[in-house]
Amino acid sequence: MSGPLILIARLKAKPELSEALGEGLSHLIAPTLAEEGSLGYVLHRDNGDPSVWILYETWRSRADLDAHFERPYTKAMLARFPELLARDMELTFATVIHPRG
C-alpha cells in the first residue's frame, strides 16, 4: 500500500537574497495548507548554511501537487527563482513506507 507523496525541495539563495527567499517561501505556507490535497507544508532553514531553505511537503497525490504548481501564488514565487536562487532547486520525491506511530 502506498502512502502520500512527499516532496523535499532544497533551495539555495544568493547570499544577499536569503532573507527575501525565506520571506517569499513563508508567504506560501498558509495558502498551500488550505489547498485540497495538501497534507503538510513545512519550511526549514539549514543550520549549517543560512542561505539554504528546505520545504518538506506532503501531498495526497501527484495530481494535487501538480495543481499546486498551477496556483497563482506558486507561479509568482517560481517566477522569482532566477533572481533569488544561486542554483536550480533540488527536488526529491518520496513515498511514505512506514508512518510513525
Domain-located, residue 98: no
Domain-located, residue 99: no
Q: What is the pLDDT of residue 3?
A: 76
Q: Which residues of the chain have pLDDT under 70?
A: 1-2, 99-101
Specify the CATH number for the domain of residue 84: 3.30.70.100
Q: What is the pLDDT of residue 100?
A: 66
Domain-located, residue 39: yes
Task: Give the domain range for residue 46.
Answer: 5-91
**Reduced to 3 states, what is the DSSP secondary structure of residue 7?**
strand
Domain-located, residue 96: no
Domain-located, residue 65: yes
Distance linking the first and last C-alpha atoms of the chain: 17
Q: What is the pLDDT of residue 1?
A: 42
Domain-located, residue 86: yes
Q: How many Å apart are CA 45 and CA 12, to the nearest integer?
A: 10
Domain-located, residue 53: yes
Domain-located, residue 54: yes
Cα Rg of the chain, angstroms: 14
Q: What is the pLDDT of residue 10?
A: 98
Q: Based on the structure, what is the number of domains in the chain?
A: 1
